Amino acid sequence: MSVYMVTWNLNKERGNYDQARRAFIAHLERYPNIKDSGLESVRWVESNATPAQVNDDLKLKLDNNDRIFITKVNNGERQGWLDKNVWDWINARV
C-alpha cells in the first residue's frame, strides 16, 4: 500500500458547488484517508493504485475547470506542521 497526498480545488462559481463538493469528498472517502484540521482541501489516502489511477478515479467527480494534485508520500522524505493524529496515521503506513 502507498500513501498519497491529494489536494484539490473545485470551482466555487458553479451553481451546485456544495453538492459537487459533498459528492467529491464522498467519492474520495472510499479510500482509507485522514485530514488535518487546518487544511480544508487536502487529504492523505491509502491505496494500492498508482497516482494516475487515483487521479483518474477522483476526476470522475470533477469538472474541467477544477484542479487536483496527487503525490506519493515517501518514507523519510516528508516534513510539515500537521495534527499529531495525522502524522501518526501517515507514519503507520509509510
Domain extent listing, the chain: 2-93
Beta-carbon neighbour count of residue 90 at 10 Å? Answer: 19
pLDDT at 22: 93
pLDDT at 16: 81
Q: Give me the CATH code for the 2-93 domain, please.
A: 3.30.70.240
pLDDT at 81: 95
DSSP state of 54: H
- Split the chain (94 residues) into runs of 10 and give each run's mean pLDDT: 96 79 96 96 97 97 93 94 97 94
Grid coordinates of 5: 497526498
Dihedral in degrees, nearest 10, Cα atoms 72, 73, 79, 83: 110
Q: Name the packing angle between helices 51-58 and 17-28 (round to 10°).
A: 140
pLDDT at 15: 75
pLDDT at 7: 97
DSSP of 4-15: EEEEEE--TTST
Residue corresponding to grid cell 496515521: 89
